[in-house]
A = this chain, B = another copy of it.
Amino acid sequence: MTDTTHDVIGIGNAIVDVIARIEDDVLADQDIPKGAMMLVERERSGAIYGSLGETTERSGGSVANTMAALGALGRRSAYIGKVRDDDFGAVFGHDIRAAGVSFDAPAATAGEATGRCMVMVTPDAERTMATYLGVAVDLGPDDVDAGAVAGSGILYLEGYLWDKPAAKDAFRRAMHVAHEAGRKVALSLSDSFCVDRHRESFREIVAGQIDILLANEGELLSLYETEDLDAALDAVAKDVQVAAITRGAEGAVVVSGGERVMVPAYPVETLVDTTGAGDLFAAGFLNGMATGRSPETCGRMGCAAANVVIQVLGARCSEALTARFEAEGWA
């Protein structure tokens, strides 16, 4: 196994978040299940946008959020995803590069617009998402830079990629390249609804090809079709080397080498918006893995990063994150 050029490389849907504070009845009116990430077509996306009040735009995308945070924490990071040569594409590229992440692919000059996700934050700080993937769905195996994947210590993938055939092929190709090069492959299950859509495939991949699994409790229960967390943790321990399962205000459980470590959540001063909590947990956790920390410290880093992001609007928080890790003595 050769030296790495990057600590982590991520592949995901490149998305700009369009964030709006809403009342619960907007979700009812638009027939959107609260807390979900729903895929919508362009027209539906426009209709939902029209129903929202003032918005704030910030770069997003689940794996992209994780990679931006890893870049801010000083890890050598790279990202693969697809944007158009439009305003949102420019914003996405700027923000991920500003976090120190390599993002080299040129923006597409044709096809759909850069993907966008309506992030609707209700008064309880819960977020519900409606995503128009746009040009992100054109991500395919040819977009996977095999040299970059083979040169990265960890390949990090999002379950959302499984929603589109070409992205699924890119996902498979990247896993193959990473394993051939003796690298680790990490997967985020992304969302319970996503797990529902692809349970069979995910079970097969998790059992056979994933080294590190990131999921929340609901996603894990859905994956193994059980209501018993204990049973699900036993199952995942057999399937992967390391699993980090987040439990909201309860913190996280890290399963590694036959052991379980419980990590408590950090206290929250002002809960602003839960957007990015899972993505930032993943960043903190993978930051720990990439720097050779114990499973418990990896879990603590995940919980600390999640704690930072839920106290800001949106899923990007590089400056606050860096300050927090310095304060914790992890920098």
Residue numbers of A with Cβ under 8 A of B are 18, 21, 49-50, 52-59, 68, 86-88, 91, 94-95, 98-99, 113-114, 313-314, 316, 318-319
Q: Which of A21, A52, A88 has the most CB of B within 10 A?
A: A88
Residues of chain B with a CB closer than 8 A to A21's CB = 319
Flag if A319 contacts B54 (CB, 8 Å).
yes
Interfacial chain B residues near A319, Cβ < 8 Å? 21, 53-54
Partner of A94, one of B55, B98, B99, B313: B55
Partner of A53, one of B56, B91, B318: B318
CA distance A54 to B318 in the complex (A): 7
Q: Which of B53, B57, B58, B95 contacts A99 (CB 8 A)?
A: B53
Q: State the CA gap A21–B316 with chains docked (Å).
A: 13
Contacts of A86 in B (CB 8 A): 86-87
A56 and B58 within 8 A (CB): yes
Shortest Cβ gap from A318 to chain B (Å): 5
Q: Top 10 closest A-B pairs, CB basis?
A: A87-B87, A57-B57, A53-B98, A87-B88, A54-B95, A54-B316, A56-B58, A54-B318, A86-B87, A54-B98
Residues of B within 8 A of A52 (CB): 94, 98
Bound-state CA distance A328–B192 (Å) is 44
In the complex, how many angstroms separate the beta carbon of A281 from the nearest chain B beta carbon? 19
Whether the pair A54, B59 counts as a contact (CB closer than 8 A) is yes
